[in-house]
Structure 1
Amino acid sequence: MRTVSAADLDVRREVYLAAALDSISIGRLAGLPHLTGTRCLDLGPAGSAVPVWLRDRVGAGGEVVTASGDPLPPAVLAPGRYGLIRARLLLMCVRHPEALLRRLVAALGPGGTLVVEDWHLWPDDAVLCAPSPRDATLVERCLRLLAKEILPGLGVDPTWATRAHAAARAAGLTTVDTEIHVPVWAAGDPGALLLAVDTVRHRGRLLAAGLGPAELDRVRQLAADPGSGLVLRGHPLYSTSGPAPPW
């Protein structure tokens, strides 16, 4: 297997995330009224086309600020600063998501809108079709190790998305709405390619968890090759949104 740098893997992951999720995010934001002239904060992995889409919508009188990672610079979350905040795949990756959610709500101006998008990492029964029962079992095992052992060990909360609605209400949003998008990913689709990338990014951890080198190579091939016949039920994306009080 050709050696791939960590930086290259990160870029690939950003590209695949954007391809898998941008249309969902844009569809969610397109339903919001009065974006013209709005100051927006877009948080999450780099590589997304959503900030560009937002800049077109807010126009010359608006502003789009982007940031990623945790902790966020204090100036980014100044109280009452934004008319729209969107955070994608961020809260599930921080140690205290409820606390960060409260900071995001505080950074909204009167009537400003928060949109929080996170995956519920749900590996059970995720293989819809595979070339053989053996392949299905192997892919399911890899997905389960990633979702329940590897990623939680790196600080990812696989079930945070299921708590986001209640947390948003507790943080003070006046009305909360959650949409759940459950995709289907065929081999070679951006979502399936994320699995292929993860078999490389987390290869050492997956080997330590009991998968063999040939097994990891097989999972990567199944996920990346459009002709392999693998079809996955993707992670449900919880999109939770609501306005701040008008004060």
Structure 2
Amino acid sequence: MKTPLSYVFDNDHPEAADRHGQLPAILDEFTIARLSSLGDLTGLRCLETGAGGGSIADWLARATGPSGRVLATDVNTRHLPPSPSYDVLVHDLEKDPVPDGPWDVIHARLVLLHLPGREAVLRRLASALAPGGALVLEDFETTFRKLVLAAPSPQAAELVDLYHELLVERVLPAHGNDPTWAGRVPAAMLEAGLTDVDTVIHSRSWPGGTAGALLIAANIAQAREDFLAAGMTEAQLAELGRLVADPRLLVRGHFTYSTIGRRPSA
């Protein structure tokens, strides 16, 4: 019997808290701008899947107000605050039915690219929308090279390039991740019957010591054995840990594709 693929960035890992601190710093401003583009959210029913540390669920709770409803789900909710301003549900997007809706807004950030059954999940989420409701999917597109914008040495740049190459070609695919998924979401939404499909692509630079660079260290910490199995050495991993804190390093964040599609009103 085939062993199920495991999620590479498990919330039970001791380093997971670092990721849940860095990802909001990298992405929340962009995500909030995209959700705000949907219009007034007051009173709406919102489903936040793969809620992580809950920063976007918390923002949605404030945006929808007391007359709205926000449900935050994750396969492991341990990083959500103990008394959140929204409802919480332990939930597996691939195995469990979509929580009862219908939903006016469904948001998933850095979730579907990790799920082998991502196309089927997208269709189920689209079907759970209320008429006129919006599905907002945000994922990294990691196949683009040239991550290093500046480095303290050519050898340092080569080391970051090696990390990125192994992450995209070996580490993530071994756990069911599809680095090309973000660019395929618009077509998948249209095939699922959604309309007004719109994608905005975001990225910016991050010097060593800031969230976008330190995410490299968090990735290595959580997938250390995978990187070693892919051919990196302990010395290389240690050097990367030092390098991502060096302000002379300047990296480009992964391109984030934010795609919105709406269920037809009639």
- TM-score norm. by structure 1 comes to 0.92
Q: What residue in structure 2 maps to residue 244 of structure 1?
A: 263
Contact 1:129 / 1:231 at 8 angstroms: preserved in 2? yes
**4+ runs of 1 displaced by more than 3 Å?**
73-78
Within the candidate set 226, 250, 253, 1:234 is matched to: 253
Q: What residue in structure 2 maps to residue 30 of structure 1?
A: 36
Q: What residue in structure 2 maps to residue 10 of structure 1?
A: 16
Contact 2:57 / 2:72 at 8 angstroms: preserved in 1? yes
Deviation at 1:122, TM superposition (A): 2.7
Could you tell me which amino acid in structure 1 is paired with residue 251 of structure 2? L
Alignment of 1:111-126 (within 5 A): 111-122=132-143, 124-126=145-147
Contact 1:123 / 1:140 at 8 angstroms: preserved in 2? no
Q: What residue in structure 2 maps to residue 66 of structure 1?
A: 72
SS at match of 1:166: helix
**Unaligned 5+ runs, structure 1:** none
**Unaligned 5+ runs, structure 2:** 1-10, 76-90
Contact 1:104 / 1:114 at 8 angstroms: preserved in 2? yes
Q: What residue in structure 1 maps to residue 4 of structure 2?
A: none
* TM-superposition CA deviations, 1:67-109 (whole Å, max 9, x none): 124733745433x510111111111010121111110110101
CA spacing shift, 1:140–1:109, aligned 2, 3 Å:
same
Within the candidate set 232, 247, 263, 1:211 is matched to: 232
Contact 2:51 / 2:57 at 8 angstroms: preserved in 1? no
Contact 2:51 / 2:72 at 8 angstroms: preserved in 1? no
Contact 1:123 / 1:143 at 8 angstroms: preserved in 2? no
Distance 2:254 2:52 in 1: 20
Distance 2:201 2:123 in 1: 22
Give yes or no for the alignment of 1:202 onto 2:223. Answer: yes
Q: Larger helix proportion, structure 1 or 2?
A: 1
Distance 1:123 1:192 in 2: 17
* TM-superposition CA deviations, 1:100-140 (whole Å, max 9, x none): 11101101011111110000013521111111101111110
Please provide the CA RMSD for this pair: 1.7
Q: Percent identity?
A: 42
SS at match of 1:8: coil
How many residue pairs match? The answer is 240
* TM-superposition CA deviations, 1:170-189 (whole Å, max 9, x none): 11112100000022121111
SS at match of 1:125: coil
Give yes or no for the alignment of 1:177 onto 2:206. Answer: no
Distance 1:186 1:126 in 2: 12
SS at match of 1:17: helix
Q: What residue in structure 2 maps to residue 98 of structure 1?
A: 119
